[in-house]
Amino acid sequence: MLARANSLWPLTFGLACCAIEMLSSGCARFDLSRFGAEVFRPSPRQSDVMIVAGTINKKMLPAVKILYDQMPEPKWVIAMGNCAISGGPFAYPGQYNVVEGADTFLPVDVYIPGCPPRPEALIEGLLELEEKITGKRRWPRVKPETMVKG
């Protein structure tokens, strides 16, 4: 389980603007491969973790559910961004086309707030998921008081 947690393979798919930040996390500046989770797979059958990045329209819900169902166990879900957490800016009385949270139909393990969350936040979310899987924190937490400002 330790080896699996330290090399999570996310499913390649994105739903809206948060997916751009997810893509950025794999590029040179943020370099997700430092944390072992950069091997985005083109097939759900090869994936460990689904990163729900973006707005889930009701029209897309069945496709997202099918992708999740096709992933082998054990598998995990990250809700990335306010839309995936709660519908974000599209959740208001009378709206009719947006799912108000991935956890209404998927077992979400980690929530990453933001509109959109930055790539660093996604990396932190993956570290949180690793900790949830293994019970241990692999990297130290950054304390706000030690962060460089400006």
**Helix pair 18-25, 119-134: axis angle to 10 deg:** 70
Q: Does 54 bind ligand SF4 (CB under 6 A)?
A: yes
Q: Does 89 bind ligand SF4 (CB under 6 A)?
A: yes
Cα separation values, 29 from 14, 15, 21, 48, 121, Å = 20, 23, 12, 24, 14
User: What H or E segment, with its residue span, contains residue 119?
Assistant: helix 119-134
Q: CB 118 → ligand SF4: shortest distance, Å?
A: 11
Under rule CB under 6 A, which residues in 3-22 are in contact with ligand SF4? 16-18
Q: Does 115 bind ligand SF4 (CB under 6 A)?
A: yes
User: Between residues 44 and 88, which has the closer beta carbon with respect to ligand SF4?
Assistant: 88
SS (H, E, C) 44-74: HHHCCEEEEECCCECCCHHHHHHHHHHCCCC
Q: CB 11 → ligand SF4: shortest distance, Å?
A: 17
Give CA torsion, residues 2, 123, 42, 58, to 10 deg: 120
Q: Does 82 bind ligand SF4 (CB under 6 A)?
A: yes
* Selected binder of ligand SF4 within 8, 32, 50, 81 (CB under 6 A): 81
* Selected binder of ligand SF4 within 37, 77, 83, 126 (CB under 6 A): 83
What does the binding site for ligand SF4 look like in residue numbers (CB under 6 A)? Answer: 16-18, 54-55, 81-83, 88-89, 115-116
